[in-house]
Amino acid sequence: MKKGRVFSGARPTGRQHIGNYLGAIQNYVGLQQTYECIYCIVDVHALTTLEETHLLKENTREMMLDWLAAGLDPEKSILFIQSHVPEVMELHTLLSMVTPLSWLLRVATFKEKVKAQPHNVNYGLVGYPVLMTADIVLYKADTVPVGEDQLPHLEVAREIVRRFHYLFGPTFPEPKAKLTTFPLVLGLDGERKMSKSYDNDIELAASPEETTQRIMTAFTDPARQYRSDPGHPEVCNVYSLHHFYNREQLVEIAEQCRGAAIGCVDCKQLLADAVNEALVPFRERRAEIAQRTGHVDEVLADGARRAHAIAKETIKEVKEKMGLP
């Protein structure tokens, strides 16, 4: 007997990086054991910023390949693309009728977007949390694994659900956030979290050579100008990545850095070797899946079919409750 139903969504950012893996994907994979899981690539949400729409197809595919190679299992979970189950857009419209505009205008991420893209403050951007609510409740999910940045959206989702229940009677589980406990994974610039958009990431699917080259560009302790300068691992970004990939040698690496027994290049090489070693099984699986013609498309079609079976029941119930003839 499973504990409950998980839903989570992620925007189609293309090839995933180790920050995505450590922060989200690994967690998704683990939850498959104890929950009924539904994982979705939210391509409609991506349209709210209208960035690189010509890449949406490719990015979605590459991302799903990474998910599969990392251990998301279509036998255990429903894996699909948001727009393939169009009922979510129907539910978005219906839920928008019970959502006071004031709730949406005060969401911090909305205000940030207004600042970031003043030339494109579209209606869809205001409705972002409503669409997210529709994602979750269309599948009657009760548990939503997300990072801390999504908590305000989850709060709106819960408020919408409560208001719907007040108006039309109990219908959905009140979705609870399940916080990813993983610490922040810094990017190669050592300043911001790892993100494709900051170009400071280490891709899971890169070749070992590319990975090593990339890690060699990382910023380290700025006080360490010369090879003979003593280092400060506690402020070094490369050292922070050793936490994930060289757990056993952490103390040793720190000592060698402080005593200038190893230089930053040596330290990066150690990291690159460990990352490459950790990614061997992932890369093998990815190559194997990529060469199975049509496999990703089949997984997606099957996921959409299973998701649709749930969605159509919910939409029927919602329409009836809202009095639509």
Q: Which residues bind ligand TRP (CB under 6 A)?
A: 7-11, 42, 45, 132, 135-136, 144, 146, 150, 153
Smallest gap, in angstroms, from Cβ of residue 26 to ligand TRP?
16
Catalytic-role residue among 76, 176, 196, 319? 196
Provide the b/e sequence for 304-318 (b: ≥16 CB within 10 Å). Answer: bebbbebbeebbeeb
Smallest gap, in angstroms, from Cβ of residue 250 to ligand TRP?
30
Smallest gap, in angstroms, from Cβ of residue 31 to ligand TRP?
13
Nearest-angstrom CA–CA distance, 38 and 85: 13
Smallest gap, in angstroms, from Cβ of residue 141 to ligand TRP?
8
Catalytic-role residue among 3, 76, 111, 113? 113
Catalytic-role residue among 76, 176, 178, 193? 193
- Which CA distances in Å does 124 have to 21, 47, 151? 29, 8, 19
Pick the closer one to ligand TRP by CB: 99 or 150: 150
Smallest gap, in angstroms, from Cβ of residue 10 to ligand TRP?
6
Pick the closer one to ligand TRP by CB: 8 or 256: 8
Nearest-angstrom CA–CA distance, 114 and 126: 10
Pick the closer one to ligand TRP by CB: 45 or 268: 45
Q: Is 193 a catalytic residue?
A: yes
Smallest gap, in angstroms, from Cβ of residue 94 to ligand TRP?
17
DSSP assignment string, 71-98? T--TTTEEEEEGGGSTHHHHHHHHHHTT
Nearest-angstrom CA–CA distance, 23 and 99: 31
Q: Is 268 a catalytic residue?
A: no
Q: Is 113 a catalytic residue?
A: yes
Residue 151, helix vs strand vs coil: helix
**DSSP letter, residue 179:** E
**Residue with the two structure tokens 């009657």:** 140
Alpha helices in 97-236 (DSSP H): 101-105, 108-116, 123-126, 128-138, 151-168, 208-216
Residue 38, helix vs strand vs coil: strand
Pick the closer one to ligand TRP by CB: 20 or 246: 20
Pick the closer one to ligand TRP by CB: 175 or 187: 175
Nearest-angstrom CA–CA distance, 319 and 325: 8
Q: What is the largest CA-CA distance in the chain?
A: 79
Residue numbers annotated as active site: 113, 193, 196
